[in-house]
């Protein structure tokens, strides 16, 4: 009986010893088929790109236990980093908000400083006294204009102003829904 080797034979091994060329079917009288032929018949022939073929061969050679351990380690790492990353991003957002708030407050401070400097100006003080308190300088003649109060509006005028202030579709709806008088 010939010894079998576990090593696969390639084209260089042709003629180097006994090989089994027929399958069990061939021994029983059926047509001879190699394993490759049976595999091609069972699985549809796919033309995979070179990278995909190497990737599929890598997936076949992965030890399931190692894959589970790797997945567990990656999950633990993700869970461990999730809370600090969330804290980091929330602090960055808060920092950006505070930075913009700080810039706005600095602009307000500059405005108030300008107002204080303006109020220390004698010309500004004089202009405000004339406008608000109606003061006059000695030798000037004051002139105060008093405008008459307009007469009160009638109900029809108020109604016409209200109708003019409404949007066009409201006026259209009112004219359709309410009968004319």
Three-state SS annotation for the chain: CCCCCCCCCCHHHCCCCCCCCCCHHHHHCCCCCCHHHHHHHHCCCCCCCHHHHHHHHHHHCCCHHHHHHHHHHHHHHHHHHHHHHHHHHHHHHHHHHHHHHHHHHHHHHHHHHHHHHHHCCHHHHHHHHHHHCCCCCCCCCCCCCCCCCCCCCCHHHHHHHHHHHCCHHHHHHHHHHCCCC
- Contact in structure between 11 and 4 (CB atoms under 8 Å): no
Mean pLDDT across 40-66: 68
pLDDT of residue 8: 56
Mean pLDDT across 153-167: 90
- Position with higher pLDDT, 23 vs 56: 56
> Is residue 44 pLDDT above 70, yes or no?
no
Confidence band for 145, pLDDT divided at 50, 70 and 90: confident
> Is residue 70 pLDDT above 70, yes or no?
yes
Confidence band for 1, pLDDT divided at 50, 70 and 90: very low
pLDDT digits (tens, 9 = 90+) for 95-110: 999 999 999 999 999 9
pLDDT of residue 175: 84
Confidence band for 123, pLDDT divided at 50, 70 and 90: very high
> Is residue 126 pLDDT above 60, yes or no?
yes
- Contact in structure between 21 and 31 (CB atoms under 8 Å): no
**Most confident segment among 109-113, 127-131, 134-138:** 109-113
Mean pLDDT of the chain: 79
pLDDT of residue 31: 54
Instruction: Give the angle 29-32-33 at the CA atoms, nearest 5°.
Output: 145
CA distance 158 to 162: 6
pLDDT of residue 171: 85
> Is residue 172 pLDDT above 60, yes or no?
yes
The structure tokens listed for 39 are 């595999």
């Amino acid at each position: 009986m010939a010894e079998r080797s576990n090593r696969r034979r390639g084209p260089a091994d042709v003629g180097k010893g006994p090989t089994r060329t027929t399958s069990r079917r061939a021994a029983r009288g059926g047509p001879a088929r190699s394993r490759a032929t049976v595999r091609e018949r069972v699985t549809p022939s796919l033309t995979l790109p070179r990278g995909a073929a190497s990737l599929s061969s890598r997936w076949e050679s992965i030890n399931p236990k190692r894959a589970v351990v790797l997945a567990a380690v990656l999950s633990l790492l993700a869970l461990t980093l999730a809370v600090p990353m969330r804290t980091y991003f929330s602090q960055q957002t808060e920092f950006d908000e505070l930075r913009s708030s700080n810039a706005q407050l600095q602009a307000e401070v500059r405005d108030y400083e300008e107002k204080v400097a303006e109020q220390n100006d004698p010309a500004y003080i004089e202009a405000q006294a004339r406008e608000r308190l109606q003061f006059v300088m000695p030798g000037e003649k004051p002139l105060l204009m008093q405008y008459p109060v307009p007469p009160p509006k009638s109900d029809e005028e108020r109604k016409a102003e209200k109708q003019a202030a409404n949007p066009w579709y409201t006026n259209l709806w009112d004219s359709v829904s309410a009968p004319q008088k």
